[in-house]
């Protein structure tokens, strides 16, 4: 009691206020660091995933170009295909090196990359041996080497490992997303704890501490705003991932569907054929003497020709026909509910559409841009094989090229 008979005013709770403020500052500092660290993780995850998926896409593309080129060489001794093979092989090796570099700092395992590298070395050894045999006119031996079980086994390892890399990249993204959620939970917990300390400090310190409370409340609001921003950044990351997924299935140059989309769609042909009792026709198309076109007119003009051909194919298609860019100057057309005769008519319509554009090409026999096409049909209930179907269409294509180009060749209805 004071001499006036009143209770003494309580002293300012310096220890409590100091401890509360220190704890809040520490929590806000940790929250700020975690917020910054979370942003870095988002940026790193997007960059890493983009590089990995892009490199894997290029590996799949180069692998298909090399596979088709070597098969063309052993089938017909095509010197253009041999030159294309030798030009693309270094690009594949460089892309594989780039992929391995990008995987080192990430959580994605490099085992699949090692498998791709090993399979590529094995394939390359057999392909160069086949090139040597073909150059000496020993095509039968070269064909046996390229179409043998060992070669197909390494092809399966090569493409399967690339698919595993893409799957692991997606798993890495999902794992990163779970880590981001844990960071967000920790930041929210710290924010709630800061708010609790704010209430305790207000009642303990009274009016002198209220100014501190106002400042801390502002800090809390900024933290909550940061949480909203982080959630938005997470949604942007998901959207970016979805965008990458969709971009990989559309050819960037021509706007038609990509080789990867074709590989996905063609796997559904047999189940649909069995369910609906439908037949499908596959048309493989190659631009005649396209290397000479690029040599004479330049690669930019060559790109424009590929876009024009893609547009012409789309314009000549029925509503359920599918157009894909298979790689380089090659396209694939997938026709539903099409008999072999109807497929011939459709293929001729596509071929005539390209010829009708009358694009000058001094390196081609007709003086204009033309295409060669190979047609094969698949039917329900007859022991179907997608691999055999594609192989027959490819053989028909090379027969069309061997027979003079600017024509359609076909094989009988397939019963694999």
- Asked, for residue 1, whether it belongs to a domain, the answer is no
Q: Is 409 exposed, middle or buried (0-12, 13-18, 19+ CB in 10 A)?
A: buried
| pLDDT for position 3 | 44
Model pTM? Answer: 0.45
| pLDDT for position 159 | 80
Give the range among 10-14, 146-150, 327-331, 381-385 with minimum mean pLDDT: 10-14
Q: In whole angstroms, how far apart are CA 240 and each of 59, 166, 177, 260? A: 22, 15, 13, 19
pLDDT digit string, tens, across residues 203-252: 655 555 566 667 767 777 887 887 787 777 777 777 656 556 555 679 99
Distance CA 326, CA 316 (A): 18
Split at pLDDT 50, 70, 90, the class of 275 is confident
pLDDT digit string, tens, across residues 15-71: 666 776 777 677 667 767 767 776 776 677 667 677 777 777 787 787 778 778 877
Taking alpha carbons only, the member of 331, 299, 337 closest to residue 314 is 331
Does the structure show a pLDDT above 70 at 109? no
Please give the residue range of the domain that contains residue 338: 259-410
Domain match, 218 and 151 both: yes
Domain match, 162 and 275 both: no
Q: Is 329 a catalytic residue?
A: yes
| pLDDT for position 63 | 77
pLDDT digit string, tens, across residues 308-360: 999 999 999 998 899 999 999 999 999 987 788 999 999 999 999 999 999 99
- Asked, for residue 133, whether it belongs to a domain, the answer is yes
Count of domains in the chain? Answer: 2
The mean predicted confidence, pLDDT, of the chain is 80
- Asked, for residue 253, whether it belongs to a domain, the answer is no
Chosen domain end from 247, 272, 302: 247
Domain match, 161 and 276 both: no
Domain match, 329 and 232 both: no
Instruction: Write out the two tokens for 327.
Output: 């790689």
- Asked, for residue 268, whether it belongs to a domain, the answer is yes
Active-site residue (options: 67, 127, 164, 329) = 329
Domain match, 55 and 82 both: yes
Distance CA 204, CA 28 (A): 21
Domain match, 77 and 195 both: yes
3-class DSSP state of 280: strand
CATH of the domain at 384: 3.30.70.270
Domain match, 281 and 222 both: no
- Asked, for residue 383, whether it belongs to a domain, the answer is yes
- The H or E element that residue 62 is part of is helix 14-76
Residues 128-143, mean pLDDT to the nearest whole number:
84
């Amino acid at each position: 009691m004071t001499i006036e008979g009143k209770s003494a005013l309580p002293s300012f709770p310096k220890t409590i206020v100091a401890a509360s403020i220190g704890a809040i500052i520490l929590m806000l500092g940790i929250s700020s660091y975690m917020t910054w660290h979370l942003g870095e993780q988002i940026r790193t995850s997007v960059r890493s995933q983009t590089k990995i998926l892009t490199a894997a896409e290029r590996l799949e593309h180069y692998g298909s170009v090399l596979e088709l080129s070597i098969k063309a060489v052993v089938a017909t001794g095509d010197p253009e295909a041999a030159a294309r093979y030798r030009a693309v092989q270094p690009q594949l090796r460089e892309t594989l090196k780039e992929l391995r570099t990008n995987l080192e700092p990430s959580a994605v395992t490099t085992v699949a990359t090692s498998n791709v590298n090993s399979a590529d070395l094995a394939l390359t050894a057999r392909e160069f041996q086949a090139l040597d045999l073909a150059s000496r006119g020993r095509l039968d031996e070269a064909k046996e080497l390229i179409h043998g079980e060992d070669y197909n086994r390494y092809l399966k390892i090569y493409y399967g490992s690339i698919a595993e890399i893409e799957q692991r990249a997606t798993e890495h993204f999902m794992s990163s997303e779970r880590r981001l959620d844990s960071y967000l939970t920790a930041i929210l917990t710290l924010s709630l704890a800061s708010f609790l300390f704010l209430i305790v400090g207000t009642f303990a310190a009274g009016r002198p501490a209220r100014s501190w409370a106002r400042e801390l409340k502002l800090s809390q609001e900024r933290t909550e705003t940061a949480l909203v921003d982080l959630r938005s950044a997470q949604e942007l990351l998901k959207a970016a991932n979805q965008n990458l997924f969709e971009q990989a299935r559309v050819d960037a140059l021509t706007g038609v569907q990509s080789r990867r989309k074709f590989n996905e769609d063609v796997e559904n042909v047999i189940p649909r054929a069995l369910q609906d009792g439908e037949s499908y026709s596959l048309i493989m198309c190659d631009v005649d003497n396209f290397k000479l076109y690029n040599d004479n007119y330049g690669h930019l003009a060559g790109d424009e020709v590929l876009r024009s051909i893609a547009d012409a194919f789309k314009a000549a298609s029925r509503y359920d026909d599918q157009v894909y860019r298979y790689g380089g100057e090659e396209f694939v057309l997938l026709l539903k509910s099409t008999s072999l005769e109807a497929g011939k008519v459709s293929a001729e319509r596509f071929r005539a559409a390209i010829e009708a554009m009358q694009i000058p090409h001094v390196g081609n026999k007709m003086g204009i841009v033309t295409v060669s096409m190979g047609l094969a049909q698949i039917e329900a209930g007859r022991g179907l094989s997608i691999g055999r179907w594609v192989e027959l269409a490819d053989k028909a294509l090379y027969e069309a090229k061997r027979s003079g180009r600017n024509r359609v060749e076909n094989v009988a209805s397939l019963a694999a």
